[in-house]
Chain A
């Protein structure tokens, strides 16, 4: 049964992913549509183990997206501000 607790977790996860999706770098990838679609698909789960699995998958995607963003930023900064200040940043 979907408890109040899992409902709250799912909703807060959705809100977090939704906010993250605003910054997704590839315009061709419809983050929000996929997000909505995946949550809708699992809206009627009743087995607590399945619910837990679905939430864990959502959290995994959230962490992967965060890693994507921070790697992207780090790579850009590393190129633009090289350790060896004598080398020019690439054009």
Chain B
């Protein structure tokens, strides 16, 4: 992997077009998937990633050389790229797949991202991406990418401070039971957690300006990547319907109901 120019950061932000968070998901009759004929938008964690890249540029100014966004998806995924460009990215890469193609899996995505990084003439120093997508909740792509690239990784980031001169970053991670602070060497993969920032709204004037920013189109074949799924979805079902709760009058009734439910008391 070619190192980038000594003190300038090239940031890559992969984004995903997912079913919009507000949509009520319905399982298809064949129980193999969900109804995708609904509103889509950028994965909220990826919005946070784009916002973080733009904020890094606001803080570091000229030390951030470029912010590129990339997505894998059908033609419509270009809208997601336009939103990212409107928030502040410089250019975009659209890895186009047919509408009918099955959704790529995290390993496939990571391999495609690796191919994108390797073909970047100026190199990539920092990849910022969402910690998980709200449609599959896999939460694997960032980690797989770091593994494939043999790069440092800092996942579930709630704070990111980058020092391009030292080629280091300090990341605060959200872990069970609190926060962890890591010092990482670039190049680095960061995955964003909810509390990293609050994404800005892409205003209409910015959306118009973004139409002039370049989107490069690529195919998986051009990248030398096969996105065919290696996992098979056997069944998709809704969670069990919530059964109504009951009210009890006193403690004795509570104990009786618990016994009914099969909960046996423990000798203290």
Q: Which residues of A contact B (CB under 8 A)?
A: 12, 15-16, 19, 25, 66, 69-70, 72-74, 76-78, 80-81, 83-86, 91
Contact of A78 among B194, B199, B203 (CB under 8 A): B194
The 0/1 profile, CB within 8 Å of A marked 1, for residues 225-242 of chain B is 000000000000001001
A73 touches B44 (CB 8 A): yes
A81: chain B residues within 8 A (beta carbon): 194
A66 adjacent to B21 (CB under 8 Å): no
Chain A residue numbers with a CB within 8 Å of B201 are 66, 69-70
Is A76 within 8 A of B239, CB to CB? no
Q: How far is the CB of A64 from chain B (nearest CB, A)?
A: 12
- List CB contacts (< 8 Å) of B82-105 with chain A: none
Tell me what chain B mostly uses at the interface: helix, strand, loop, or mixed: loop
Give A58 to B174 CA distance when docked, in angstroms.
40
A83 and B174 contacting across the interface, CB-CB below 8 Å = yes
Q: Which residues of the other chain, A, contact B176 by a CB distance below 8 angstroms?
A: 84-86
Interfacial residues of chain B within 11-56, with CB under 8 A of chain A in the complex: 21-22, 44
B205 proximal to A (CB < 8 A): yes
A15 touches B204 (CB 8 A): yes
Q: Which residue of A lies closest to B195 (CB)?
A: A83
The CA-CA distance from A73 to B201 in the complex, in Å, is: 12
Mask, B201-217, CB within 8 Å of A = 1, is 10111000000000000
Q: How far is the CA of A80 from the CA of B21 in the complex (A)?
A: 10
Q: How far is the CA of A12 from the CA of B134 in the complex (A)?
A: 33
Known pairs A84-B176, A86-B176; A77 contacts B195 (CB<8 A): no
Could you list some 12 contacts between A and B, CB below 8 A?
A12-B204, A12-B205, A16-B203, A70-B198, A72-B22, A73-B22, A73-B44, A76-B21, A77-B194, A83-B194, A83-B195, A91-B242
Q: What total of chain B residues lie within 8 Å of the partner, measured CB to CB?
A: 16
Q: Do A76 and B22 have beta carbons less than 8 Å apart?
A: yes
Chain B residues near A15 (CB-CB < 8 A): 204
The docked-state distance in angstroms from the alpha carbon of A19 to that of B204 is 8
Question: What's the Cα separation between A78 and B203 when bound, in Å?
Answer: 24
Kindly list chain A residues whose C-beta atoms are within 8 Å of the C-beta of B22: 25, 72-73, 76
Return A84 CB to nearest CB of chain B, in Å: 7
B contact residues around A86 at 8 Å (CB): 176
Q: Considering the chains assembled together, what is the distance between the CA atoms of A15 and B195 in angstroms?
A: 32
**Bound-complex Cα distance A90 to B68 (A):** 36
Please give, as numbers and ranges, the residues of chain A lying within 8 Å of B195 by CB-CB distance. 83
Q: Which 5 pairs show the lowest CB-CB distances between chains A and B?
A: A16-B204, A91-B242, A66-B201, A77-B194, A77-B44
> Which residues from chain B contact A16 at a C-beta distance below 8 Å?
203-204
Cβ of A74 and Cβ of B198 under 8 Å apart? yes
State the Cβ distance, B161 to closest chain A Cβ, in Å: 21
> In the complex, which of the residues A12, A16, A81, A85 has the most CB atoms of chain B within 10 Å of its own CB atom?
A81
A12 to B203, CA, bound (A): 11
12 more CB-based (< 8 A) A-B contacts, given A12-B204, A70-B198: A15-B204, A16-B203, A66-B201, A73-B22, A73-B44, A74-B194, A74-B198, A77-B21, A77-B194, A81-B194, A83-B194, A85-B176
Contacts of B239 in A (CB 8 A): 91
